[in-house]
Structure 1
């Protein structure tokens, strides 16, 4: 017959309980030894019987292993304490920020004219003063921006006028250069016509009137 499952509970018979303790204690020690050898682990086992007798196994020095365990337990305990402290701190900060958010939302609703029924006369007066100061700052900022925009527009207009004047000067210069680069024949004809008109006017002003006289009559020459 195969081995059946044993119900895990206290064995009431003293003899059976003692036999089971010895068998399982030795098996536990054997498993500890195998674990230390196979896995290169530091193993320490301490077992107290119901009569107070101690049984132990250590792959290394028992005292150094226990000291290492105590140190690791202390570090874990300190780490847990730090984590718990941080958690409490963040919870408090979260609650504080939530209260601030609620307060700001309530103030914004009041500024929008909502939920004013819960305010008394003094609080309403304070709210009115805040609104007036806010409106004054908004108007001041608006005037500053409008003035800056006007100055910028004027400066831009001045720059455009200056650029326009430069362009006009360039156009005039280009037209003058085009006149100077006319074809030679056209330029000569224009100058000749101009000089002809001027010289004719000078001759008419400076010379005396021309008198036409009849030529003497020719005499006949007779040869005898």
Structure 2
């Protein structure tokens, strides 16, 4: 049969009353302790037996809890400030615990303070390190591929610029050669009648013996032409003409 419902009234039997008090007191103290630990609550419990014996429990301090209770009950205007202060205190405690946990995790990742860790915790730490290493290598490979692609793009740009410069230089050289040929085809200004590449000066310089004698000034000189049939010697004719010219 199941446990029946117990009627709540004073137990008349003294022995039964004492046994029930002891059991219920221990259970109540246990529940108060569990509440303070699980819910981070400030609990204070005060029990007086029928003989006047005191039983108490306080998560922090029973006296401080009673003082706080008195402040909350008799100073209602400070109730809001007290709650806010308590809230901030709890928040600071949580942040402090989180900060200590992060510091401990960081030391573990750096290979420090590994003594207290169990096999399972060490395996989890090893998996975390392997995952972080794989992500770091993947990111490094991605950055290297991006850099290589950027270098290829710059190489293509430089190649296009080089081709354009080659075309421009070839066009400039062609224009310069065309201008040089035009200058060589023009006639010399000091010899308009000469053909390209020739001049009278060059011909005269090439044949100095063909230049005729310069004219001689002749005053009172009569030139006599000797015929083919004349019997006078040529030397005498020249001498007579020379004397005749000067004796006039």
Class of the TM-score when normalised by the shorter of the 2 chains: 0.3 to 0.5
Q: Give the TM-score taking structure 1 as reference length.
A: 0.46
TM-score normalised by structure 2 residue count: 0.42
Larger Rg: 2
User: Greater helix share, 1 or 2?
Assistant: 1
